[in-house]
Every structure is written in structure tokens, then in C-alpha cells.
């Protein structure tokens, strides 16, 4: 049997386990019956022959499990069963399911929004030509504290021509919003 055919059959057995389970049960029953008949012909009682036939298989359920693993992808089959169990469990508790789905939706939406902002502001380069040539001027006040260059000075730089292509200025002021000494 070719590797591709074996792969397709294993995948089919994962997706449609019912048919394979019926065939496996029928085949194991036939094997057990043949062994029992052989043991009865050798002189065992029907009950002793049945027990001895089951012992030769090292347990019927263990044999079934080995055959399931050999005929399908066990990890994919386990994942399918886990999903089925999760769906059944969530269907039994619709209140919890609703809260869980809404919580996931809110969390995913918030993460998407935050990442979109971070991506646009921090991660992507500036959407201006020659963004690597942007300069920020910071001056110092008479008391030695760093401050932005004055707005009139920005106008002078722009009028000098040729020095800068364009200038943008902003001003940061700290204000107290109350009459009290501390806001």
C-alpha cells in the first residue's frame, strides 16, 4: 500500500471513526470466536475457552486501542475528541459559554486595537519622505533646564531659506486647573 493511500486512510479514519470502530469490533469478535473454537476442539470448556481467548489478546480494549493508534493519527484523534468534549461541556452551560465567548471577544478586540495603535505609532516608519532627516531642537533655559526652542526662532529658521525644507513647531505648557496651590 502506497504511503499516500495509507495517509489518506488514516486521515479518513480520524474524521469518520464510526465506520472503522464497527469494522474493528466485528473483526475482533471474529478472531475471538476462531480462537475459542480452536481451544474448544482441544478439549476446553466453552467458558474456559472464552477466557483463554481473551487472555491471548492481552485485553480486548487494549488491543482495540493499539489498532486505533495504528490506523489513524492518535494526536489528531485525541484533539478531535477534546473538541467534541469541549463543545458538549459548553453546550450544557450556556451562561458560562456566553460569558467566556464575550470575554474572549473583548480581549481579542482590545489586543487588536492596542496593537494597531502601537504598530501605527511606534513600529512603522514615519509616513514622510526622508523621515530619517527629521531634527528636533531642544534649547536650555537660563537656569540650565532643557526646554524646546522658542516659536519665534522656528520662524526665523524657516525664513532663512535653504536651511530647512519645512518646519513644524509645538509648545508644551504646564497649567494648574484650580485656584489652590496644588491641583
Q: Are 31 and 75 part of one and the same domain? A: yes
Structure confidence at residue 35 (pLDDT): 86
pTM: 0.40
Q: In this structure, what C-alpha cell is assigned to residue 158?
A: 524657516
Cα–Cα distance, 155 to 168 (Å, whole number): 9
Q: Are 7 and 83 part of one and the same domain? A: yes
Structure confidence at residue 171 (pLDDT): 64
Cα–Cα distance, 130 to 47 (Å, whole number): 91
Does residue 182 form part of some domain?
Answer: no
Given the C-alpha cell 484533539, which residue does it identify? 79
Closest CA to 167 of 183, 142, 149: 149
Domain containing 148 equals 128-172
Cα–Cα distance, 159 to 140 (Å, whole number): 23
Q: In this structure, what C-alpha cell is assigned to residue 80?
A: 478531535
Q: Are 61 and 107 part of one and the same domain? A: no
Structure confidence at residue 164 (pLDDT): 73
pLDDT by residue, tens only, the chain of 183 residues: 688 887 777 777 667 766 777 787 888 888 888 888 888 888 888 888 888 888 877 777 777 777 776 666 677 777 888 999 999 999 999 999 999 999 999 999 999 999 999 998 888 877 777 777 777 766 666 665 555 556 677 777 777 766 777 777 666 667 777 777 776
Does residue 181 form part of some domain?
Answer: no
Structure confidence at residue 115 (pLDDT): 96
Structure confidence at residue 57 (pLDDT): 72
Give the phi and the psi of residue 139 in degrees, each rounded to 5.
-105, -175
Q: Give Cα separations from 125 to 1, 120, 121, 133, 168 (angstroms).
A: 56, 8, 8, 12, 18
Structure confidence at residue 111 (pLDDT): 97
Given the C-alpha cell 473483526, which residue does it identify? 27
Dihedral, 87, 75, 9, 20 alpha carbons, nearest 10: -60
Q: Are 79 and 67 part of one and the same domain? A: yes
Structure confidence at residue 103 (pLDDT): 97
Total domains in the fold of the chain: 3
Q: Are 120 and 132 part of one and the same domain? A: no
Q: Are 152 and 75 part of one and the same domain? A: no
Structure confidence at residue 105 (pLDDT): 97
Does residue 75 form part of some domain?
Answer: yes
Q: Are 86 and 9 part of one and the same domain? A: yes
Neighbours of 40 (CB within 10 A): 16
Amino acid at each position: 500500500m502506497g504511503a499516500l493511500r495509507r495517509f489518506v486512510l488514516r486521515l479518513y479514519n480520524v474524521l469518520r471513526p464510526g465506520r472503522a470502530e464497527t469494522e474493528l469490533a466485528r473483526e475482533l469478535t471474529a478472531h475471538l470466536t476462531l480462537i475459542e473454537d480452536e481451544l474448544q476442539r482441544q478439549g476446553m470448556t466453552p467458558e474456559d475457552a472464552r477466557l483463554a481467548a481473551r487472555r491471548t489478546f492481552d485485553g480486548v480494549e487494549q488491543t482495540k486501542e493499539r489498532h486505533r493508534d495504528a490506523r489513524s493519527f492518535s494526536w489528531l484523534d485525541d484533539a478531535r475528541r477534546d473538541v467534541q468534549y469541549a463543545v458538549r461541556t459548553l453546550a450544557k452551560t450556556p451562561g458560562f459559554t456566553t460569558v467566556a465567548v464575550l470575554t474572549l471577544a473583548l480581549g481579542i478586540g482590545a489586543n487588536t486595537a492596542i496593537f494597531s495603535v502601537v504598530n501605527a505609532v511606534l513600529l512603522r516608519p514615519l509616513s514622510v519622505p526622508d523621515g530619517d532627516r527629521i531634527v528636533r531642537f531642544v534649547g536650555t533655559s537660563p537656569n540650565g533646564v532643557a526646554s524646546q526652542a522658542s516659536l519665534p526662532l522656528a520662524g526665523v529658521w524657516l525664513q532663512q531659506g535653504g536651511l530647512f525644507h519645512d518646519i513644524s513647531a509645538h509648545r508644551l505648557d504646564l497649567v494648574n486647573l484650580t485656584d489652590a496651590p496644588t491641583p
